[in-house]
Amino acid sequence: MLAALVLSACAPSASPDQSPASLAPAFPLTLTDTAGRTVTIPAEPRRIVSLAPSNTEIVCALDACDRLVGVTDFDDYPSQVTDIPRVVIAAQVDLEKVVAAEPDLVLAAGNELTPSSVIDGLAELGLPVLVLYPSTLEEVYEEIHLVGAAIGARAAAETVVAAMLERADAVARAVAGAPAPRVFYEVGVFAGTIYTAGEDSFLASLVAAAGGEPITGDPLSTSISLEQLIAADPELILLGDAAYDPSITPASVALRPGWHVMSAVHDGSIRIMLDDLVITRPGPRIIDGLEALARAIHPDRFDPI
């Protein structure tokens, strides 16, 4: 989930100095989601369907895993979600299964990861559908607040975000003042097309927060041509796809036609990112991804693990 989508409006969220009473659930509630849609939630949701793993992780981080009645076949964290019925299979939303789950809230994904036709169809059936898709690390925090408001868990959202911010601040202090190398994060290479962080995407934001200068691709497709990549001349190549394919190694990358001219290749600055799952999934564990990126970009600023 890498292409950029500008957040149209922020969810109403509680600030740290608000009283417990102001954090109490209040329904019916009208919110504005990432896609700029106005959504009214009549009562506190007790049956939630998540159409993206990151949404699932947010719900569970807010101590509401027991309310999930539908998830995707890619959901794997936390462990209890593996027992929840699958309503998205091979990236295809099964509308009949979603409706059969009788949800009172559906959490969809933006940028057509959940097709607009599906979102519109569910809304026409009277189901409250919130679309989530952050374009920056800050918007990940905002979406956690949004879900917290939507499910009556504002206080839990405050706690989760505060812990994330504390860890993010520690990373910022660690990389402060360090030179920012040009970083190419490889999401994948398929049939000759190279995929990376989309321009203005949360992944690009994460690389920047970790102390690198992100090399970005098209904001929607997240692709970048080899010519563009060579012109950008990465000083560091991070292989996210190597976490799933052991044949992708620094040595194999160096043998790709045309890649030898890049600074990162002839300097041997190519690293495998085994933490790709948390780096590219915009949920509460994104801070684990931020820390992993910062260690890869500036290993001298951190103690060995």
For each of the chain's 305 residues, which pLDDT tens digit applies?
333 332 333 333 333 344 444 556 689 999 999 999 999 999 999 999 999 999 999 999 999 999 999 999 999 999 999 999 999 999 999 999 999 999 999 999 998 999 999 999 999 999 999 999 999 999 999 999 999 999 999 999 999 999 999 999 999 999 999 999 999 999 999 999 999 999 989 999 999 999 999 999 999 899 999 999 999 999 999 999 999 999 999 999 999 999 999 999 999 999 999 999 999 999 999 999 999 999 999 999 998 87
Give the pLDDT confidence score for residue 198 in this predicted structure: 93
Which domains, from first to last, does the chain contain?
A: 21-164 (3.40.50.1980), 178-299 (3.40.50.1980)
Strand ordering across the sheet containing 48-50: 92-93, 86-89, 68-72, 48-50, 105-109, 129-132
User: How far is it, in rounded angstroms, from Cα 219 to Cα 198?
Assistant: 4
Q: How far is CA 194 from CA 183, 226, 227, 241, 283, in A?
A: 15, 7, 11, 11, 25
User: How far is it, in rounded angstroms, from Cα 71 to Cα 274?
Assistant: 24
Give the pLDDT confidence score for residue 2 in this predicted structure: 31
Taking Cα atoms as reference points, which of 31, 35, 8 lies closest to residue 151?
31
- Calculate the dihedral angle through the C-alpha atoms of 129, 130, 131, 135, rounding to the nearest 10 degrees: 180
Give the pLDDT confidence score for residue 229 in this predicted structure: 98
Quick check: 291 and 299 in contact, CB under 8 A? no
- Token pair, residue 24, equals 């109490």
Give the pLDDT confidence score for residue 220 in this predicted structure: 87
Give the pLDDT confidence score for residue 26 in this predicted structure: 83
The three-state secondary structure class of 108 is strand
The three-state secondary structure class of 234 is coil
pLDDT digits (tens, 9 = 90+) for 84-129: 999 999 999 999 999 999 999 999 999 899 999 999 999 999 999 9
The three-state secondary structure class of 195 is strand
Quick check: 108 and 119 in contact, CB under 8 A? yes
Give the pLDDT confidence score for residue 12 in this predicted structure: 37
